[in-house]
Structure 1
């Protein structure tokens, strides 16, 4: 009996020992698995923290852009839009490529034009909610209005043609300019002054060249303008001559454009007129031409506006600064840069109900191409630029500013 109990106790101890050994082995196995995992996770966490912690002097922009899908999409849209804007400006102006003005003597431009450009572009964009979030609704006037362009064409000497010691003043115009209707044209000629007292009358005569021949003496001229003024004092002054009728004829029939000859006399004696080759070209005669073209009316529109840091995912209008020199359009005199704005974002079903025609289209054809975020209203920008003849053109370029975005 005692022997049996001893054997039983012995078996129990063996069983307990084996159980403890098994548990110890399992514990070691678990620790062997957990320790590398913990080290790996700790290393991974440290790596993430290092990535999140900014380096001294590092920019936040790359990290913000890299971690934001909508930001990356907007950046791609921005770069594509800049290329499109460059091509569109050249196409609308009528250029196959940007005029090369590098190293060429450029005429002096009246400061009033710079002020007008700044005023018009500033006024055009100041009333737009460019930096205000939320929806805006605008009612446009339901009528027609006009777009006015102003061109400053500087005189160029007619090749190998002079008349009694004076250059024929010739003005060249591109086809993209002559397609407009002339509403007004004024010739500016600088008459040198005299300090003689009392001031004498100067007779100014303007002749239109009718026919060009190899011999200047047989060239045909038509007197189109005469005017008497008091001879200016000091260095002189600009004299204005109305040329609306003549320039209108030139626009309708460019082949008849042979230029002008200007004479100024006091009691039959010639008075100095600043021409192309005098005073380093600073007082070159020029024609200021105003043209008009009908423009279609705009409609009521609605749109959402966002700033560059917005995390908005639905269709929205964002800023897009266009630097003309940076995109290779240095022939544009003013402005040097402007905000064209751009559209980006998604068009989910909930937003379609704000645009009834888009909503109906999607309901009628559920399998059709989904709507895209696109400009719904475009505005114009006033611009001053050189054409291929180095004329200075002042004009309003339509469709270059996104005023509203929507799903279409």
Structure 2
């Protein structure tokens, strides 16, 4: 029996070594082949978590696969410029996280609706604002009330950009074979200039169909919040269609006067003004009480430390190790964390509902028990190459990717 076991291990080791050699021969000539290692259940689960994070990141970016950066022509000057933008994004993310941790909401939300305007941003000429074949630019002038109280200020609770696809032309598609195109939405961070690269930040990339008309609704909360904080830096939003001529395949109502005059309104819409590009914004007064910052690190656990109850565990994602170091320039990696463990009676209840659920399970074990999940998450900014024919550097916010706190719910 022992002999058979030794033969099996020898064959397994030889197979793994051959697979590693084949892999290195195909795409990792510059890396030294690693010796095969035994895979524990913990390592298998960790690899599965990393794979899940990779899939979520690609989905948020709107990419089907990692970009091929060999076609990129980004200069060193452009790279330095984008690194500065990335550092600015880190500061904004940090401020936003502190706002969520420390601010206490004190009033009901107020609704605002701002249609796109024909006026141009300051310092921008009509020639520089020209949309071009692959993109359309939108400018809004949100007007918010002033708060005259030193302990209160206004914040954007939620903001959506609404665009109506009033006309579609699938017959004009150049590369798409399934009627789907990728739309990328950018916040312009400086006045656009003809013939020059405009500094901009990716808000979201998404896939949409050109086989049917309908609404596109994009979360622009962070963008509108930045305009509220610094109105003079409002240079509008740019919509880009990757790999296809946008104006040949889609018309957003209110962005092409010639085509708008011929558009028939949807059956449920009496007023065509409803179809104009529009920002729907909810604002809220907040106050910032003085409170000590709670350190979530004191609540963290380590695998194997004996803790079985709900806790936050570290999970570091190294972009180079997962093969993404070529197209994600910064950061080198990040700690995503994850939640795991049991939820005993009345332990770390996230809210009143989860407390009731815990009590019900205590009284009747047949009822569902609370689960250990993320109670609070935060975004991560990355500097990465996009998925265009000639990949460009962009700063992308990955939403709700870092676990800040775990609880039972």
TM class by shorter chain equals 0.3 to 0.5
Which protein has the bigger strand share? 1
Which entry has the higher C-alpha Rg, 1 or 2?
Answer: 1
TM-score, reference length from structure 1: 0.42
TM-score w.r.t. the length of structure 2 is: 0.42
